[in-house]
Amino acid sequence: MDSQKLIDQYIEIVKSDEDTFYRDYLETVDKVENSSAIYKGKPVPFLYQPMFFTKKDIETFESIGRTLMSITNKVVSKYKESPEFRKKFGYSKLLEELILADHGYDVSVPIGRFDIFYGGGDNFKFCELNTDGSSAMNEDNTIARILLETKAIEKMKENYEIRYFELIYKWVDESISIFREFNPSIEKPNVAIVDFEESGTPYEFEEFRKAYVNKGYNAVIADPRELKYTNGALYYNDMKIDLVYRRIVTRELIDRSDEIQDFINAYKDKAVCVIGPIKSQIMHNKIIFKILHDEDVLEMFTEDEKEYIKKHIPYTKEFKGDKEVYDEVLKNKDKYIIKPTDLYASKGVYAGRDFTLDEWKEKLDKCWNNDYLYQEYCVPFTRDFVEFEDGKVKVSKFGHIIGLFMYNEKLAGMYTRVGKNSIISGVTDYYTVPNVLVEGK
């Protein structure tokens, strides 16, 4: 059994009775619109077909994650011990100070979503490494539960066991496990899910809050500006906070540090367990793609890890300095994509193939010497997905990006976006498709 066989079977099922499955699709749309799968005030766009994975795919993802975690831990250790190595990142004095602060437990990247272009087996390339602020667990799980109740999937279940990857309660358990290392004396830590109110994803935060409460913990959603550090403890109103699930992205934390001095001081003093630590920024910033290819950095790794980096981390350089760099990216526009070093949700990301030469030059002029990277453009792998057009089944090819959620350095599940554009993201036309494991009965 492989994924392509499952896709073909699913499409044949939907084609076999277009009217029935179209009506079912419309009911599914209504269920999603009335669910917690809301992003920026709107229902998350989705397709009437999940992303099918086999046990072999999951074993591959676990292997990808293990190797990346090994590389991550070596990079973080080098950053802590080598002032010369730290210069490669160009971080501010405050950010460097926070990265070097002891965060009170062993794991440096307790949560991450690592996005890959995946063609099966060893055929993959990394697109983005998201650590602090990793999101979209609720999107995947909510739509997965709804799709698993559709008539088409019920038909598939006649021959297969199909399940989704639960991501909310699993994180609660992993975060509490990490907290136990930080402070084993507190049986029931009080939890704050922390982000700036205007930046957060409230529907997702509420799902996490409910999960903590259902597991027996006091939990609140808090803006970091509302946290007060007094008498050696961090408080939200009258509640002493023991564990912070940090959803603030580090860029915003640093840019707005003057607004949240109590939170920062509590972090420095190890007065509260913050998951994840500011160290996660080392792998989150896109400059890591460039740094990993530096010859002196490659020497840190095993031969297998060097091969992994060269094969799976796209070639990346800083978009600045020598005019030859500018000319190379301009003249070979279809080969490259340019990205800001530290924004998220694909903000400011441009693929050369989306523009005429004049339009591309205009983009490059704005980004040159302005904290941008240029990177080899990776063509997304495609899969066939069912769409409905005027009530009729249409099968289209969609490029896809698969995000591997790693909790406490272990694979927890996936998040997949699909689209037909050169860039697949929440700021372009995209769909979320939930990820399911399919096994024979």
* pLDDT above 90 for 346: no
* pLDDT above 50 for 213: yes
CA neighbor of 153 nearest in space, from 382, 386, 412:
386
User: How many other C-beta atoms lie within 10 A of the C-beta of residue 330?
Assistant: 17
Sign of CA dihedral 254, 128, 332, 348: negative
Averaged over 340-358, what is the pLDDT? Answer: 81
C-alpha 102/C-alpha 182 separation (Å) is 11
Model confidence pLDDT, tens digit, residues 217-276: 999 999 999 999 999 999 999 999 999 999 999 999 999 999 999 999 999 999 999 999
C-alpha 362/C-alpha 341 separation (Å) is 19
Model confidence pLDDT, tens digit, residues 110-145: 999 999 999 999 999 999 899 988 889 999 999 999
CA neighbor of 50 nearest in space, from 10, 2, 23, 5:
10
Write the DSSP symbol of residue 258.
G
What is the model's pTM?
A: 0.94
Model confidence pLDDT, tens digit, residues 12-50: 999 999 999 999 999 999 999 999 998 888 899 999 999
Least confident of 202-206, 262-266, 348-352: 348-352
**β-strand partners of 435:** 51
- Asked whether 271 and 235 are in contact (CB, 8 A), the reply is no
User: How many other C-beta atoms lie within 10 A of the C-beta of residue 258?
Assistant: 7
Give the distance, in angstroms, between the CA of residue 268 and the centroid of all CA atoms in the same chain. Answer: 26
CA neighbor of 195 nearest in space, from 152, 226, 230, 216:
226
Note the pLDDT of residue 344: 55
Q: What is the CA radius of gyration of the chain?
A: 22
Q: CB-side exposure of 271: number of CA atoms within 13 Å?
A: 19
